[in-house]
C-alpha cells in the first residue's frame, strides 16, 4: 500500500514539475537563473515524512503489544508458581511461552535452583536466576565462542535485572527476600516451617508475585533488545 501511494505521489509531482517548468519565465538575460522545480528533493522529503510516520505508528503499536505481553509474562509466572512451585522454572516457562522459546532443557535444568538454591534459602532467589537464565539463553556466549572474549552484553542485561530486583526487594538472597515479603525467613526443609510458609501465602501470592515481577522485568529487557534490533534494520 505504501509503495502504491508513493508511486501515485511521484506521478503527481512529475506532472506538477512539468507544469511549473512550462510556466517558468525565460530568465536567460537575468543575472540569476531560477532552477526548475526540485522534483527529486521533494519526493525524498515527502517519502521521509511518510516512512517516518509509518515507522512511528508501527513502534506505537509494537509498544502496546509489548505491554500486553509483559502483563502476560507476569500472569503466567504468577499462575505457575502458585500451582506448581519452583520459581526459576515458572519464570522460564512464562518467558518460554511469551517469546515462543525452545528451551525445555533449560527449564528442566533450572529446577534445583528453587528456594535460594536447593531450598536452602542461602543463595540467590530462584525467580531472579530464572530471569537471568532467560537473558543468557538469548544473549549469552555460545559454546563455540568461549575462546573469543568475554561477551559482556549478557552480563550488562542481567545486571539490569539484578539491580531492579535488589531495588524492589532489598537483596538478591532468598532468605532476605522472604524477610522482606513475609517479615521472617523459613527453613524450607523443615516440614513445620514449610507449613507456616504456605499458611502465610508462600504459594498463594507472595512468591508468585516475586516470580511474576521477575518474568515481567526480564521480558521488558528482552523486548527492548528485540526492538533495538528491529530499529537498526529499519534504519
pLDDT in tens, 64-114: 788 999 999 999 999 999 999 999 999 999 999 999 999 999 999 999 999
Closest C-alpha among 57, 87, 69 to residue 224: 69
From residue 75, alpha-carbon distances to 94, 125, 210, 216, 219 in Å are 8, 19, 11, 9, 12
pLDDT 10s digits, 179-226: 999 999 999 999 999 999 999 999 999 999 999 999 999 999 999 999
Supply 172's cell numbers: 538478591
Q: What pTM value is reported for the model?
A: 0.72
56 pLDDT higher than 70: no
Q: Would you state the pLDDT for residue 229?
A: 75
- Where residue 235 falls among pLDDT bands split at 50, 70, 90? very low
What are the sequence ranges of the domains in the chain? 65-234
Say which DSSP state 123 is in: S
**Phi, psi for residue 139 in degrees, rounded to 5:** -125, 5
Question: How many residues are there in the chain?
Answer: 235
Give 3-state DSSP helix, strand, coil % of the chain, rounded to 5.
Answer: 75, 0, 25
Task: Determine the Cα angle at 31 with ends 29 and 37, to 5°.
Answer: 85
Residue-level pLDDT at 23: 53
CA distance 48 to 187: 62
CA 65, CA 44: separation in Å to the nearest integer?
A: 31
Instruction: Kindly tell me if the per-residue pLDDT of 52 is higher than 80.
Output: no
Number of H helices, E strands in the chain: 9, 0
Q: Note the pLDDT of residue 48.
A: 47
pLDDT per position as a tens digit, 36-48:
445 555 454 444 4
Amino acid at each position: 500500500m505504501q509503495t502504491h501511494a508513493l508511486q501515485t505521489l511521484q506521478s503527481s509531482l512529475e506532472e506538477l514539475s512539468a507544469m511549473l517548468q512550462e510556466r517558468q519565465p525565460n530568465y536567460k538575460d537575468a543575472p540569476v537563473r531560477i532552477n526548475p522545480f526540485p522534483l527529486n528533493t521533494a519526493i525524498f522529503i515527502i517519502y521521509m515524512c511518510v516512512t517516518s510516520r509509518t515507522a512511528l505508528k508501527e513502534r506505537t503499536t509494537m509498544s502496546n503489544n509489548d505491554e500486553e505481553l509483559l502483563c502476560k509474562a507476569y500472569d503466567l509466572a504468577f499462575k505457575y508458581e502458585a500451582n506448581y512451585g519452583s520459581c526459576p522454572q515458572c519464570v522460564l516457562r512464562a518467558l518460554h511461552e511469551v517469546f515462543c522459546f525452545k528451551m525445555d532443557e533449560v527449564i528442566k535444568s533450572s529446577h534445583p535452583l528453587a528456594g535460594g538454591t536447593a531450598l536452602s534459602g542461602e543463595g540467590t532467589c530462584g525467580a531472579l536466576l530464572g530471569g537471568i537464565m532467560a537473558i543468557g539463553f538469548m544473549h549469552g556466549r555460545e559454546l563455540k565462542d568461549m575462546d573469543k572474549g568475554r561477551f559482556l552484553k549478557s552480563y550488562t542485561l542481567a545486571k539490569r535485572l539484578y539491580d531492579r530486583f535488589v531495588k524492589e526487594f532489598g537483596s538478591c538472597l532468598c532468605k532476605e527476600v522472604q524477610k522482606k515479603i513475609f517479615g521472617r525467613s523459613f527453613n524450607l526443609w523443615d516440614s513445620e516451617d514449610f507449613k507456616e510458609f504456605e499458611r502465610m501465602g508462600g504459594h498463594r501470592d507472595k512468591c508468585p508475585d516475586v516470580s511474576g515481577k521477575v518474568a515481567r522485568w526480564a521480558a521488558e529487557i528482552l523486548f527492548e533488545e528485540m526492538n533495538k534490533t528491529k530499529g537498526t534494520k529499519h534504519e
